[in-house]
Structure 1
Amino acid sequence: MFNINIYQKYKVLEIIKDCYKSYDSCDDKWFKNDEYTNEYELNGVDLINKINQKLTMKDFSDFQINNEGNVINGECFNTLILIINTFEPSDGTGTEFKYYIRDLKESGE
């Protein structure tokens, strides 16, 4: 089980896949896709606020949660994978926010 609490620090890898229209047209050739990657450390309060901000976006559509174990230097650590999707039905655009979240205390960093 993975626990996010306000007293802990977390390492977060954020991958954002953005689908947007580069021109105001209904033609599929105007859709563009960009991908951004960020890595940072957050305390539990800031992490919970960041997740809440995404879940309350006006075009929020769904989210997925997965908890998987990773082996780092011969030790097994839990990583929470959180995927939050947005979708704007009026124009077909949307964004996928994927977060790999690891407890810094557990990982020894």
Structure 2
Amino acid sequence: MHIAYVVVTIVVALANGYAAVLNFAGAESVRVVADEVRVSPRWMIPFGILLACGAVGLLAGFAVPVLGMAAAIGLVVYFICAVSAHIRVRDPKVAGAVSFLVMAVGALVVGLGYHNHW
């Protein structure tokens, strides 16, 4: 379980860190998605901060497990809201948000399993 916990946590942290950088940089792909789900582009920096905090929190969870669990829960909530935003506007390109939601749930599940919080 230790290897799964480490690998999943690092992969999810890297994915969310990359997404945060795209938000901070104002990448065209982020702006297109924001337009499609009718979210103002000025929200991209706050969203990037949330993603970055989630990524850092997951990694901090190696030293302080409660931070990792809190970060994973925060990312799950964030991506539930993201999926909801896509569904609200009937956007057929919801797969990206769903994949990040699945990764966040995976990080939460392996974290809970590794730290015996079942």
**TM-score, with length taken from structure 1:** 0.30
Where is the helix percentage greater, Structure 1 or Structure 2?
A: 2
Between structures 1 and 2, the one with greater strand share:
1
Scaled by the length of structure 2, the TM-score of the pair is 0.28
